[in-house]
Structure 1
Amino acid sequence: MNSLLVYGSYGYTGSLLASAAVSQGWSPIVAGRDRRKVHSQAEALGLEGRTFALESAAERGRVGTETVRVAAALDDVDAVLNCAGPFVDTAEPLVEACLETGTDYLDITGECSVFERLRQRDHRAREAGVTLLPGVGFDVVPTDCLAAFLADELPTGDRLSLGIKSESTLSRGTARTALESVGDGGVVRRNGRLLQVPAAFRTREIDFGGGPEHAVTVPFGDVVTAAHGTGLESVEVYLAVPPWASRALSLLDSAGCLCDAGPVATLLERATDAAFDGPDERELATDRAVVWGEVVDDTGRRARARLETPNPYALTVDAALAASERVLGDGAANVNVDPGFQTPATAFGSDFVLELEGTRLQLLEPHDVGDSSGSDPARSRLVSDG
């Protein structure tokens, strides 16, 4: 097998990935910034370990120097799978080093800003012959593949809505990433442009299979990836939450500056680490999630579908290893993945998610569109062109 380095391998998801890879006969290199944790994991799994740190954008003042240092750790590696969040801090230094060394890059991010930053490196990646494939976990494999499927079902469609329902316990890394985004508001795509909007900007009722449920807009990466893969001009992503959560999210958004204050931020981080530990083995084996999608055109026609998946963390392990195998060109899954910025669906097709264990797609009968959401579009603010 060609060489794969898993960065952030000792975190919750990274540990699951590394162990699963070994059980499947792989010998990935485990890596991260904590020498003790890397050494302990490498010894336990019988793998090579490498230790190197990635400075955040706020800390990074010597990009060239850092790129050289990280590139030295990747020089003999065919692909990197980044599992270290928040990815807004780790993706760019790894990607810069990958472009320097000709190493393919994958990660399991769901952070909207990360997808947009990597999309803007598409030309450089093509020139370097490097594949940039973020979002090979639950974010955004199911939603990206569902978006591509629905776009094919209704080629005249120009508006996409996605909904996600999951009751899975969060890992510390996921919870910390969510905490860092408090106060940042939300993001939607309108007419080809990314717009900054307040948290819980819009609400709607979505049927995830058990009747209508309350859902609110969230700034997930599909506002970038779905548009890249399908050309759909308007994209919103919703998350199923209790009705009271809409108000709570708005209050948290308003309190963002307070949460960023040093002592408060430290207290919240400690509370987050104590409260979240990720799903246990039973949850990983038995929990289910549902992804809903709808594409609409100007005549009122729409195509809708639901996709049922395993626990999001279990699916992330399966999807990330399957994607890594394809990018590396190993085994029976040998495929030709083009260089440049890719999404799971553009790299592997909309059926990729259905090749993963425990997924099931249901195409719903289309009918005329009704207006099931409401907010003031005048509150949106342009942050980036698509």
Structure 2
Amino acid sequence: MGGRIANLAGRAGHDVVLAGRSRDRLAVEAVRLKVPWRSADPRNPAGLDAMLAHVDVVVNTAGPFSNTAPGIMRACIRNGCHYVDLSNESNTFQDAWSLDDDARAAGASIVPGAGFGTVAAEALAAHVLGRIRHADSVTLVRTSGGGPGTPGVKATVRELLARPGAGMRHGQWITRGHRLSFCELPEGARAIVPVALGDAFAIARATGIPNVAAYASTTINMGWAKILIPTARVLGRAARVLPGPITRHRSQADCMSEADTRLWLRASNPPGDTATSCLYGETGSGIAAETALRAAQALLLQAPPGTYTAGQLLGHARISQLPGTHIVDF
């Protein structure tokens, strides 16, 4: 992913430096891209400071972000450069917002979750909230077409799904445990499991909605899901179980595409009114790389000091400019 973003940035006319932990891999990739490279361990502050000399924006693509983001975000603040990552881990978002005052004082911008998924979730939330008055609750269900994924993505997914779910309740981030629920999605009835996604944190921060819950769906039978998923999560093997492949529901065929990401979101208000929409989009490193590059370019043009969601930085309407993405209302 880092190489893809570096290639896009170079083609856009930016000066690019590859950075990472593995000197051997960096050297090979840098030769291929014809760019300089620097190496540092994200746990070594002095090494990070040297790596960030004369750098304007860092795009962190190395997951799990709970391991890499803390050190790099703080190094960016120390060195007065801006930070972007592709995280969807809620603890990375919480850490980023704990640094808001420090980032403002340093004139640095911190933008976690600038990959396609979180930006799409923010855009979908803004769309649905525009269809209902006085909403106070949002429920997000994420499904994925699966696919091989990069090692970093696999590690991030394993880390996310091995932990208890979490979300916003009455404006506070709380643990939701492993309890499964049942949801009627456009592609059919599915078991859903709470996950501690950065999506939920980003939506709450960007919209002010006090109650936000995020789930992942699976095609596993509900009875089996109650047995297999909690066990798999405890053993840290949840990524092998969830999310599963999605089977298209024929009655929804006109709404469904061969898209790889499906976000289902429902907003509700105290009287009981609801509004529901789905976002369908192509996933993969290409669209995620383009989204991250747009965030970095926005910071080069005008960087607001402090911590922001990617949607706040880019504007929710810009998601409609990404190829292969559309929203369907229900």
* Alpha-carbon separation, structure 2, partners of 1:348 and 1:255: 38
Structure 2 SS opposite 1:123: helix
Partner of 2:308: 342
Query: Is it true that 1:313 corresponds to 2:285 in the alignment?
Result: yes
Is the contact between residue 109 and residue 139 of structure 1 (CA under 8 Å) also seen in structure 2? no
Partner of 1:325: 297
Structure 2 SS opposite 1:85: coil
Query: Is it true that 1:125 corresponds to 2:103 in the alignment?
Result: yes
How far the C-alpha of 1:173 sits from its partner, in A, is 1.2
How far the C-alpha of 1:216 sits from its partner, in A, is 2.3
* Alpha-carbon separation, structure 2, partners of 1:83 and 1:193: 28
Partner of 1:34: 22
Is the contact between residue 150 and residue 303 of structure 1 (CA under 8 Å) also seen in structure 2? yes
Is the contact between residue 139 and residue 221 of structure 1 (CA under 8 Å) also seen in structure 2? no
How far the C-alpha of 1:77 sits from its partner, in A, is 0.6
* Alpha-carbon separation, structure 2, partners of 1:341 and 1:92: 14
Is the contact between residue 206 and residue 215 of structure 1 (CA under 8 Å) also seen in structure 2? no
Give matches, 1:178-189, under 5 Å. 178-181=157-160, 183-189=162-168
Partner of 1:174: 153
How far the C-alpha of 1:23 sits from its partner, in A, is 4.1
Match of 1:106 among 62, 75, 84: 84
Partner of 2:319: 353
How far the C-alpha of 1:287 sits from its partner, in A, is 4.8
Letter paired with 1:48: P
Give matches, 1:192-231, under 5 Å. 192-199=171-178, 201-208=179-186, 210-231=187-208
Letter paired with 2:175: Q
Partner of 1:190: 169
How far the C-alpha of 1:70 sits from its partner, in A, is 1.1
Structure 1 SS opposite 2:183: strand
How far the C-alpha of 1:211 sits from its partner, in A, is 3.7
User: Cα–Cα, structure 1 residues 160 and 327, in superposed 2: closer, same or farther, change >3 Å?
Assistant: same
User: Cα–Cα, structure 1 residues 134 and 255, in superposed 2: closer, same or farther, change >3 Å?
Assistant: same
User: Cα–Cα, structure 1 residues 48 and 194, in superposed 2: closer, same or farther, change >3 Å?
Assistant: same
Is the contact between residue 198 and residue 250 of structure 1 (CA under 8 Å) also seen in structure 2? no
User: Cα–Cα, structure 1 residues 22 and 287, in superposed 2: closer, same or farther, change >3 Å?
Assistant: farther
* Alpha-carbon separation, structure 1, partners of 2:172 and 2:65: 22
Structure 2 SS opposite 1:290: strand
Structure 1 SS opposite 2:130: helix
Letter paired with 2:10: V
Structure 1 SS opposite 2:168: strand
Query: Is it true that 1:85 corresponds to 2:101 in the alignment?
Result: no
Is the contact between residue 131 and residue 341 of structure 1 (CA under 8 Å) also seen in structure 2? yes
Partner of 1:263: none
* Alpha-carbon separation, structure 1, partners of 2:189 and 2:231: 25
* Alpha-carbon separation, structure 1, partners of 2:285 and 2:116: 7
Letter paired with 1:251: T
Give matches, 1:247-326, under 5 Å. 247-255=227-235, 287-326=259-298
User: Cα–Cα, structure 1 residues 168 and 179, in superposed 2: closer, same or farther, change >3 Å?
Assistant: closer
Letter paired with 2:5: L
Is the contact between residue 222 and residue 235 of structure 1 (CA under 8 Å) also seen in structure 2? no
Match of 2:126 among 139, 148, 157: 148
- Structure 2 gaps of 5+ residues are 241-257
Render the CA deviation track for 1:227-251: whole Å, top value 9, x for unaligned: 1001111111122212344432211
Query: TM-score, length-normalised on structure 2?
Result: 0.86
Query: TM-score, length-normalised on structure 1?
Result: 0.74
How far the C-alpha of 1:183 sits from its partner, in A, is 4.3
* Alpha-carbon separation, structure 2, partners of 1:215 and 1:159: 18
- Structure 1 gaps of 5+ residues are 1-12, 56-65, 260-267, 272-285, 330-335, 365-386
Is the contact between residue 84 and residue 114 of structure 2 (CA under 8 Å) also seen in structure 1? yes
Is the contact between residue 168 and residue 212 of structure 2 (CA under 8 Å) also seen in structure 1? yes
How far the C-alpha of 1:181 sits from its partner, in A, is 4.5
Query: Is it true that 1:70 corresponds to 2:36 in the alignment?
Result: no
* Alpha-carbon separation, structure 2, partners of 1:125 and 1:102: 8
How many percent of aligned residue pairs carry the same amino acid? 26
How far the C-alpha of 1:160 sits from its partner, in A, is 0.4
* Alpha-carbon separation, structure 2, partners of 1:93 and 1:243: 38
Question: How many residues are aligned here?
Answer: 309
* Alpha-carbon separation, structure 1, partners of 2:326 and 2:182: 24
User: Cα–Cα, structure 1 residues 312 and 302, in superposed 2: closer, same or farther, change >3 Å?
Assistant: farther
